Structure 1
Amino acid sequence: MTAWIAKLFLKLNGWKFDKKMPEVKKAVILSVPHTSNWDFVWGKLSFLAYHIDTYIFLKKELFFFPLNLIFRALNVLPIDRTEPAEMIKRVVREFDDNERFYLCITPEGTRSRREKWPRGFYYIAAKAKVPIYLGRIDYKKKELSLGELFYPTGNIEKDVRYIKSTYRDITAKHPEKFSLGADA
């Protein structure tokens, strides 16, 4: 029932999802660009519509009643961002402890314009030994996609440059807030 409602809501709002199902049981899924809270809404609806059980992490400060109940129902997990190394260890444990685990991350880490993306998404994928889906939200075309499946090579600068280059043709909800930076 939830999937049907999600599909209907997406359709009524003109959104299309490529319906590509994950080829692997565990992966980091990037959600690019991230310039609006609507990115979460459209992304989560598309995953619900096609039965892709994804998790996201959100700063622990937002987990208060009653929001914490809603977040948990949507597979949103609290995270302490003050200790990045501990955060990465916790996420890697989630990958280790689950047979299937898809972690959706906005690599920019903020809805504001950021020239240099934090590398946390890459470190998580590398330490968990999982690939990265180069997920896309294109507001001009109203298309959502899991995108290409990318395996980190260990050359972080080269890999991040490539990952960013795949988003050159994307349109954010707020284009002025989206940047690939000079290294794309």
Structure 2
Amino acid sequence: MHRTIFDTPGVNRVFRALSAAILRLSGWKVEGRLPADVGKCVVIAAPHTSNWDLPYTLMVAFVLDLRIYWMGKWQIFRPPFGGLMRWLGGIAVRRETSNNLVAEAAQALVDADGPVQLIVPPEGTRSKVRYWKTGFYYIALQARVPIVLAYLDYTRKVGGVGPVFHPTGDIDRDMVTIKAFYANIRGRHADQFDAQA
């Protein structure tokens, strides 16, 4: 995986302090901590209902001292901002041609040196969706890594990481457990997120 702001010496410390200050001044709190024994993992980013989710997610990641990568639609990686988005941990995704995305993402996690957290929004978009996409689940299953349940709760102004979930391969049963965690968490546009879908 490519070098990002999260593993750029010196710069990451500055942004960690800056992120903590901005979150504090805007009334946000950060909860949880990634367990020391969880190096590589897939992180659910939910709810994903607003463009504001990305900057808040990046700031929370800095405060928690994570080394994240995140998937975004390829259009935001066009010039002049493509290089910046990649430096911020972005990975461009073309949904219409990404037939092997799950396998490629899983292999990238396996091949990565050191701790890596791959953030995947289960909705796949900021818009309201009826059903969660399951790519995050199969990436974790194929890479044999856990799923970390992360969140941005705009009602409480709290972001962070929750439980670490180990997929069993029984996706129907596992999704019930995963979605139950998000039942009371509200995104910026709460009407666009349904953890029961």
Q: For 2:35 and 2:98, how far apart are their aligned partners in 1?
A: 28
1:84 offset after TM fit, Å?
4.1
What are the equivalent positions in structure 2 for 1:44-83 lying under 5 Å apart?
44-83=58-97
- Aligned 8 A contact 2:76 2:85 in 1: no
Percent of residue pairs bearing the same amino acid type: 33
SS at structure 2 position matched to 1:91:
helix
Question: 1:32-181 counterparts in 2 under 5 A?
Answer: 32-98=46-112, 99-181=114-196
Alignment check: 8 A CA contact 2:183 2:196 kept: no
* Runs of 4+ off more than 3 Å: none
- What is the total number of aligned residue pairs between the two structures? 182
Shift of 1:79: 2.1
Name the CA distance, whole Å, in 1 between partners of 2:145 and 2:99. Answer: 18
Residue 12 of structure 1 is matched in structure 2 by: 25
More deviation, 11-20/149-158: 11-20
- How far apart are residue 85 of structure 1 and its match? 3.7
TM-score by length of 1: 0.93
Q: CA deviation at 1:160?
A: 0.8
Counterpart in the other structure of 2:15: 2
Letter of the aligned partner of 1:16 in structure 2?
K
**Structure 2, unpaired ranges of 5+:** 1-13
| Cα RMSD, aligned residues only | 1.4
Aligned AA (2:146): P
State TM-score, norm by structure 2.
0.87
**Distance in structure 2 (CA, Å) of the matches to 1:2 and 1:149:** 26
